[in-house]
């Protein structure tokens, strides 16, 4: 009887570990069979996007490139469509500096943006953290021991999920933050926008930008 009880307990513990581990680590998967993923960038031009500001946004060899312009100010490339709950995944490579970000549930007036940003920045500056522009500033930074996850000068995969008031981010398969915020939950639909930071000297490549609405 004790042997049977031990086997049942072990089996249940193993099942619970696998179930909850997979639930917590629900990383977007390009092989997902539901076929609900859509490409936001077609690899040829900026169809479906709108440029805000004077900084450079162009396509080269199937990659989307942002680069500081002569004004060296903030610039954004925003989707024409608005989204609320979704999963998004993309790849980026920082060729120079790399101070950028991916905004969600946002709106723009010129180059003034209201919304929230998943940070993309040089090493040591919280890539994968959540920042609120023209508002509360940093909402959550990444743990110090995860600063080594970013591969400067190489391709990185950034994924994040936004569901009501919860935002989860992953960088190169590692969960960076899991955050809930009432103000984010109260927001309606908004654009997704790539940012180029002010100050000049920035160049970043982007590719494989895909989204699945939830």
Tracing tokens 């982007």 back to the chain, one arrives at 206
- Does domain 29-213 correspond to CATH entry 2.60.120.560? yes
For residue 18, what pLDDT is reported?
40
For residue 34, what pLDDT is reported?
62
| Torsion angles phi and psi, residue 172, rounded to 5 | 50, 40
pLDDT beneath 50: ranges in the chain = 1-26, 29-33
For residue 1, what pLDDT is reported?
47
d(CA 190, CA 102): 12
Sign for the pseudo-dihedral over CA of 105, 110, 111, 113: negative
Q: Summarize the chain as % helix, strand, coil (round to 5).
A: 15, 45, 40
DSSP letter at 73? Answer: -
3-class DSSP assignment, residue 187: coil
For residue 177, what pLDDT is reported?
98
For residue 26, what pLDDT is reported?
47
Number of neighbours of residue 55 by Cβ within 10 angstroms: 25
d(CA 4, CA 108): 63
DSSP-assigned states of every residue in 149-185: G--TTS-EEEEEEEETTEEEEEETTEEEEEEE-HHHH
What is the C-alpha end-to-end distance of the chain, expressed in Å?
47
Structure tokens at 39: 């490409």
Structure tokens at 170: 């992953």
CA 145 from chain center: how many Å? 20
3-class DSSP assignment, residue 57: strand
CA 195 from chain center: how many Å? 12
Sign for the pseudo-dihedral over CA of 159, 174, 157, 149: positive
């Amino acid at each position: 009887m004790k042997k049977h009880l031990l086997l049942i307990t072990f089996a249940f513990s193993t099942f619970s570990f696998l179930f909850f581990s997979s639930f917590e680590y629900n990383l977007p998967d390009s092989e997902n069979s539901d076929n609900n993923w859509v490409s936001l960038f077609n690899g040829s031009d900026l169809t479906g996007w709108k440029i805000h500001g004077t900084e450079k946004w162009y396509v080269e060899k199937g990659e989307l490139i942002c680069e500081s312009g002569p004004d060296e100010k903030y610039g954004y490339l925003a989707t024409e469509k608005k989204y609320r709950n979704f999963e998004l995944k993309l790849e980026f490579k920082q060729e120079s500096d790399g101070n950028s970000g991916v905004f969600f549930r946002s709106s723009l007036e010129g180059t003034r943006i209201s919304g929230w940003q998943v940070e993309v920045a040089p090493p040591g500056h919280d890539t994968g953290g959540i920042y609120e522009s023209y508002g509360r500033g940093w909402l959550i930074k990444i743990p110090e021991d995860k600063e080594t996850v970013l591969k400067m000068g190489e391709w990185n995969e950034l994924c994040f999920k936004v569901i009501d008031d919860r935002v989860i981010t992953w960088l190169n398969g590692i969960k960076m933050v899991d955050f809930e915020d009432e103000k984010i939950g109260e927001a309606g639909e908004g654009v997704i926008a790539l940012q180029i930071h002010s100050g000049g000297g920035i160049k970043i490549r982007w590719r494989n930008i895909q989204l699945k609405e939830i």
